[in-house]
Amino acid sequence: MASFATKVIRLSLRAVSAVSPTTAGELAFRIFCLTPSRKPKSDKERALLNAAAPLMEESRKVTLSFAGGWVFARHFQRRGGGRGPRVLLTHGWGSRSDYLAAMIDGLLTAGAEVVALDWPGHGASPGRSLIMPQAVRSIDAAWRHFDGFDVCIGHSFGGASLACAAGGVLCDVPARVPAKLVLIGAPSEMAWLFKGFGKIMRLAPAAQAVFEGMVERLSGRRVEGFDAARILGALRRPVLVVHAEDDKEVSADHARRYGAVGSNVELHWANGLGHRRIVSAPLVIEKIVAFLGENEVLAQLRKIA
């Protein structure tokens, strides 16, 4: 059943659409891009933030600028003598880098250097909205500042954004292609999100067309061009896709779509972990470390688990 807020927004959009479908579509896009509150929603989230604090204090805080804004990142140096890859780590919609503390710790234990981004409108970064072009520009800003990454790992929206950045979806931003890519619970294309939102809001066809057209207006590419699965199939770089069949936020069909694009994609099922617990599960972290080629530290990771 739709929430009261959703019902109010539906009625408002319907009323506006009756007068101007263009205005309704533009308003729907602004609502779609609005990011949720950064405040912890539960005692569990507050506990996670408190538990993550000591690890996050190990990082160096970095400000990364791009056309139209800036984002906040945390840079974790390799732990004593580590020779692992340089990793860019990105969180999902409504999350923040602190919630990836277990993943960060596992990568650092494996000898990696880690840069964890907070998207615009998330964590310590400014703003109250986020669109895919901003995410791609944020990735580009990190890439320029740190002179590239060996591996990129992203959860949910973060994974799709990394794939789109690798595909060079913005004409004024170069493709940022790592040697390996890991996507966790990630959507395989953006059109799905726009169609789904339009259906929830019951947008009239004319308003839906304007809503989707906003993507092309802001990026120069139609929403269908933000197709992460197609991009990864064309890149032919090693990709690990981790997903749970019980994920209620991003259907497992997206993982299957990734898995079907080519032999360069390895699909790993982490069933029972849903959409959010998957990023901190020891077995998932162990699988990712193995994929990155740091097999010699697996025994140490097992001890941590």
Per-residue pLDDT tens over the stretch 133-147: 999 999 999 999 999
Task: Kindly state the greatest CA–CA separation across the chain.
Answer: 65
E-strand spans in the chain?
Answer: 60-66, 69-76, 86-90, 113-118, 151-155, 180-184, 239-243, 265-269
Token pair, residue 103, equals 């993943």
Q: Residue 49 is which amino acid?
A: L
Q: Which 8-state DSSP code applies to residue 212? A: H
- Per residue in 65-107, pLDDT (tens digit) is 999 899 999 999 999 888 899 999 999 999 999 999 999 999 9
My answer on whether 264 and 213 are in the same domain is no
Residue 128 and residue 230 in one domain: yes
What pLDDT, on a 0 to 100 scale, did the predictor assign at position 303? 43
- Domain region containing 118: 44-189+226-304
Q: What pLDDT does residue 82 have?
A: 82
Average pLDDT per consecutive 10 residues, the chain (305 residues; last block may be shorter): 84 94 96 94 93 97 95 96 93 97 97 97 96 96 98 98 97 96 97 95 96 95 95 93 97 97 96 97 97 57 43
pLDDT at residue number 236? 86
Q: Are residues 143 and 170 in the same domain?
A: yes
What's 183's domain CATH number?
3.40.50.1820
The answer to whether 66 and 135 have CB atoms below 8 angstroms apart is no
- Residue 39 counted as domain residue: no
Residue-level pLDDT at 2:
72
Buried b (16+ CB within 10 A) or exposed e, 50-70: eebeebbeebeebebebeebe
pTM: 0.93
In this structure, the answer to whether residues 52 and 157 fall within a common structural domain is yes
Write down the residue that tokens 């994920």 correspond to: 247
pLDDT value at residue 68 = 86
The verdict on residue 85 lying in a domain is yes
How far apart CA 246 and CA 4 sit, in angstroms, is 27
164, 231 contact by CB (below 8 A): yes
Residues 276 and 207 in one domain: no
Say if residue 166 is in the same domain as residue 279.
yes
Q: What is the structure's pLDDT at 3?
A: 82
User: Are 215 and 157 members of one domain?
Assistant: no
DSSP 188: S
pLDDT value for 1:
61
